[in-house]
Structure 1
Amino acid sequence: MDKEEYKEERFTERCDDKVESIGGDYDLEEEDDSPVEEVRVTISNTDDPSMPCNTFRMWFLGLIFTAIVSFVNQFFYLRQTQISIGYSVVALVSLPMGHFMARVLPTEDFNLLGWKFSLNPGPFSIKEHILIGTMTAVNTSTAYAVDIVILQKLFYHSEKPFIAGLLLVFTTQVTGFALAGALRKFLIRPAHMIWPSTLVTASLFRSLHAGNNAPGDEGRMTRMKYFLLVTLGSFIYYWFPGFIFPTLGVISWICWIDPENVVLSQLTGSNGLGIGTIALDWSAASYYVQPLVTPWFAQVNILIGFILVAWIMVPWAYYTNLWNSKDYPILSPDLFREGGEAYNLTMILTKNVLDEKKYEAYGSVRMDSFFALTYGVGFAGLTATVVHVILYNGKEMLARWRSARLENEDIHSRLMRVYPEVPDWWYISLFVTSITLSLITCIVWDYMPWWAVLLAMVIAIFFVLPVGIVQAVTNQQPGLNIVTEYVIGYMLPGHAIANVTFKTYGYIVNVQALTFTADLKLGHYMKIPPRIMFMAQIISTLISGVINLSTATWLVETRPKVCTKDGYPFTCRNTNTFYSASVIWGAIGPARVFGNVQGAIYSPVQWGFLVGALLPIPFWLLARHFPNVTWLKYVHWPVLLAATSNMPPALPYFYTNGLFIGFVFAFLLRRYRYNWWARYNYLTSAALDTGVAICGLMIFFCIQSWDGEMPAWWGNPSDKNYDHCPLGAANYYGVIS
């Protein structure tokens, strides 16, 4: 067998796809490259189709990390301070494992039912590595539908069979992938649909697979050694804020001046506005801001938006007693009666549906001013995003929409011709199956009517392409959660579970479609055979769905008082906020909360829609009139208004501590120690995440699951007031609900 015959045979074995004929070998000229500069400097314009990709190593490591990441991220999702293992951690940890398997696995060929394969087809390749990362990346965020299952069991006491929840998870996660197939022509193949976030990921993988003796690296610590050392340090340190000395994570030192002063506690306590609170806990400081990863420009916008809302608007509203705010805590995701008592939803429901007579007798729902204002800011952020994109990117978006239909293929599209494309009928079959299962699930287990399923899908499909173009060009993804809640809240008022189910199908299907599309674009850049990418994404998504739901079910059934303050650390801040939203938008309905029905006092927040639409206009006009005033170009109202979109459940001190770390790393070190920053910054973030996650799991499984506790002392008070500021969660009159 000559060299070319051997190469062709090995390619067929390694990638498990036949090479499509494109008229002979493609001759790549030196000047033939992407027309987009960012892509040219990041992505290689060559490809080696013989490189291993569909291998035993890839599937083994990919499935292992899928299981681990799905479990860890769901486990920590229910905790007070969350930890999320992302792309970078998996990329770094799987690399030495892949190289180790390439050294120790047997190289001989095996024959299984006529299929010839090798456990070890050669050196561990970047294509295998990217597929491993992609299998875990689609599961970095836990399945959104799991919250519906928890909600029904703990809050609405109407538990459904496990299979019902599993089908709900499967259909909401996979339907989006089916839509992604329809987006390939417009969002993947065109050169100008660059998907900036995929360039970062591609750069990470290319750096990890570059030679160890790169110019300028002589005598410096290897990236892997640095990663392991920081991971070890993070693991050792987290024993203190995570178990031995929890007060380290919430040092509200200003509050200690006078802990009995209610106003001081509300302003400076960790459960209040957190002014001055120091969090020596990486899981708290990093989760929402991601200070070592988020660009400094974006962090500045977040900082301004945070101060504007959390430290200016909210204190003004609270201490002027807007909406009788002083009867409630200054920051809480909970719902209240008019006098400040906790709102008992069972008093207004009959068979989990709003009973209008009971509601009139019991009284309308109330929330703290922070919660109400963040809804108004969310309304403003939605319209500001639309107007901002039209003003700043409108002409460019229109041109790129046309180019998506008309432009010639770039080098990357031509190189991908060698790999057979996923047939359309695969995506169509997947979509039809998903829709069918969605209808069966929602009708059989009474989640919502059949027409609501179809309407949610129409909303997701209608918005997926325009939102996808925005994300592909600007790296922004306007959220549809408010739109979906509003629509079904008016169409099916009084039905809480139907509301959150509709939101999940209308919102998360759209999000999942674009998440999958981004991964397909990464595969396009890195020349991953599309059919292998398809199978890797589908299989990992199904496995992660089972693990997400199983993990959440296990925790709910085994942890006492889970999702309550007494269930610390499993307080489920996100799920509690999800519950409050289900009450506001579903059980009671937007008309009774934000409309003009039966004393809906929060109707003024709907002005946020108009305010958000108007805010970008004067700054756009000023930027055009004064083109030399640089700072005007950086005023980005969608980012400013989205800064507090995670609050609640996020706490203010998460932001302040994260932004301070971001100032050190994203600004100071990047500007004054660029070589160190370029080499170690992202590794540092990944290593800190990994160390905290491993330590958190060890604390739980080795100590807490056996009912072990750290003895109570000042740094670990028995009353769980770790910040020693007990009135931070009280109302203005010092009453703790």
Structure 2
Amino acid sequence: MELTLPTKPVRVLGTNWTFSMNPGPFNVKEHALVTLFANSGLDPPLALQIVSMAKVLFKMNISIWAALTLTLATQMLGYGFAGVFMNFLVNSPYMWWPYCLIDVSFYRALHDVELRPKGHLTKFQFFVIVSVASFSYYIVPNYFFPSISSLAFICWIWKDSVVAQIIGSGRYGLGIGSFGVDWVTISVPIAYWSNLYHARCFPFSSYNLYDFDGQVYNVSRILNENDHSTNESGYNNYSKVYMSTVHLFSFGFKFAALSATCFVNCSLRDRDAWLQFKESYKRKNDNFGGVHNRLMRRYNPIPKWWFYAILVFTISIAAANSEGFGKQLQLPFWGVLLGCLLAFILLLPVGVIEATTGQVNNN
């Protein structure tokens, strides 16, 4: 666009305001903004999974307006929470977000003008070499022939052995050569072979739910046909819900990690966290926030009431959506409020861990 569009100013009729069709050089700020927009729309909203499963699996009738309102409310809710916790998770110099350093290095490699020292590479040259090498290395196993990424020799030798499939299979078992000394590879096999929660009646690694006979759980047997609510008598007459060992421990470790995150933020670093909290909340010192925030003070900040208005509006819309449209979503308004409350409570401790270590599982 910089090379093709005219640079001659265009005057708006009836005013003295002029503009140019040529945007000028593509700078690093525009590049970062384009990346933010692309990442925001890269993954589909999780609300679409709710609507898709309700329509495809349970044949439920959900109107397009209910689905659209649900999607917009869940997507906009995060912007409201972002404003509420901006002082703590963004402006605070204690929250340095390690993953952002990778993005900064990437943008600088593409936009910084460097003179190549003799016998060395510039950042851009190094980036191009690594990109081409990575593409060449991964294109074969990840696109053309994915099966060569996991060669389960044990499964090939003992085709009919359940134990061999558990040890060698990369999809339904431990995977050949994947043994380690972490708690997953220690506790999960012990739980399986000790038949914890009847584990040996089900596959070792699977994300399906099973009944007491080891068959895939028939969810329709415990739901009422008219409104798809839980049929307690049908559940009592059918079976409990069983999981594979890997799936069960996956849930357990996620809950344990969440509890540990809250414990670390509330107990082990309580004094430092409280001091950081007060500094982030008051922000009376002009030097608070680091160099980046002092530079950003040149620009007018976004009014806080914008974020609060978005938060109140989206919660109200979500609550009204749950009670409206003939209650197609089957979620009472207090369920929406409870979900927002849990998000409000957990967002700060989880955000602190991710902002300081970058080690958070978003699942």
TM-score tier, shorter chain, comes to 0.7 to 0.9
Residues 143-194 of structure 1 deviation map (CA, whole Å, 9 limit, x = unaligned):
2212112211222221413332222221111111022122233333333333
Q: What is the 5 A alignment of 1:517-532?
A: none
Q: Which residue of 2 aligns with 1:409?
A: 286
Q: What is the 5 A alignment of 1:265-280?
A: 265-276=165-176
Residue 456 (structure 1) aligned to one of 321, 332, 339: 339
Q: Which runs of 5+ in 1 are unaligned?
A: 1-100, 279-301, 480-645, 647-737
Say if 2:261 and 2:349, in contact at 8 Å, map to a contact too.
Answer: no
Q: Which residue of 2 aligns with 1:397?
A: 273
Say if 1:385 and 1:478, in contact at 8 Å, map to a contact too.
Answer: no
Say if 2:210 and 2:241, in contact at 8 Å, map to a contact too.
Answer: yes
Q: Distance in 2 between matches of 1:388 and 1:464?
A: 14
Residues 646-672 of structure 1 deviation map (CA, whole Å, 9 limit, x = unaligned):
7xxxxxxxxxxxxxxxxxxxxxxxxxx
Q: Distance in 1 between matches of 2:361 and 2:148?
A: 36
Residue 342 (structure 1) aligned to one of 209, 213, 216: 216
Q: Which residue of 2 aligns with 1:472?
A: 355
Q: Give the 3 Å change call, closer, same or farther, for CA 119–233 of structure 1 in structure 2.
A: farther
Q: What is the 5 A alignment of 1:468-617?
A: 468-477=351-360
Q: Which residue of 1 aligns with 2:205?
A: 331
Q: Give the 3 Å change call, closer, same or farther, for CA 224–185 of structure 1 in structure 2.
A: closer
Q: Distance in 2 between matches of 1:439 and 1:128?
A: 37
CA drift of 1:140 comes to 4.2
Q: Distance in 1 between matches of 2:35 and 2:269?
A: 32
Give the TM-score normalised by the residue count of structure 2: 0.84
Letter in 1 for 2:341: V
Q: Distance in 1 between matches of 2:115 and 2:104?
A: 20
CA drift of 1:347 comes to 0.8
Larger relative contact order (C-alpha < 8 A, sep ≥ 6)? 1
Q: Distance in 1 between matches of 2:98 and 2:64?
A: 39
Q: Does 1:229 align with 2:132?
A: yes
Q: Distance in 1 between matches of 2:321 and 2:8?
A: 47
Q: Which residue of 2 aligns with 1:256?
A: 156
Q: Which residue of 2 aligns with 1:131?
A: 33
CA drift of 1:112 comes to 5.3
Say if 1:252 and 1:274, in contact at 8 Å, map to a contact too.
Answer: no
Q: Which residue of 2 aligns with 1:116?
A: 18
Residue 206 (structure 1) aligned to one of 103, 108, 114: 108
Residues 675-731 of structure 1 deviation map (CA, whole Å, 9 limit, x = unaligned):
xxxxxxxxxxxxxxxxxxxxxxxxxxxxxxxxxxxxxxxxxxxxxxxxxxxxxxxxx
Q: Give the 3 Å change call, closer, same or farther, for CA 277–123 of structure 1 in structure 2.
A: same
Letter in 1 for 2:208: D
Q: Give the 3 Å change call, closer, same or farther, for CA 262–460 of structure 1 in structure 2.
A: closer
Q: Distance in 1 between matches of 2:130 and 2:37?
A: 22
Give the TM-score normalised by the residue count of structure 1: 0.44
CA drift of 1:261 comes to 1.5
Q: Give the 3 Å change call, closer, same or farther, for CA 225–406 of structure 1 in structure 2.
A: closer
Q: Distance in 1 between matches of 2:35 and 2:243?
A: 42
Q: Distance in 1 between matches of 2:352 and 2:135?
A: 42
Q: Distance in 2 between matches of 1:372 and 1:314?
A: 9
Q: Does 1:420 align with 2:300?
A: yes
Q: Which residue of 1 aligns with 2:236?
A: 360
Q: Which residue of 2 aligns with 1:153?
A: 55
Q: Give the 3 Å change call, closer, same or farther, for CA 463–379 of structure 1 in structure 2.
A: closer
Q: Secondary structure in 1 aligned to 2:2?
A: helix
Q: Secondary structure in 2 aligned to 1:418?
A: coil
Q: Distance in 2 between matches of 1:387 and 1:426?
A: 32
Say if 1:273 and 1:331, in contact at 8 Å, map to a contact too.
Answer: yes
Q: Which runs of 5+ in 2 are unaligned?
A: none
Percent identity (aligned):
29
Say if 1:337 and 1:343, in contact at 8 Å, map to a contact too.
Answer: yes
Q: Give the 3 Å change call, closer, same or farther, for CA 187–340 of structure 1 in structure 2.
A: closer
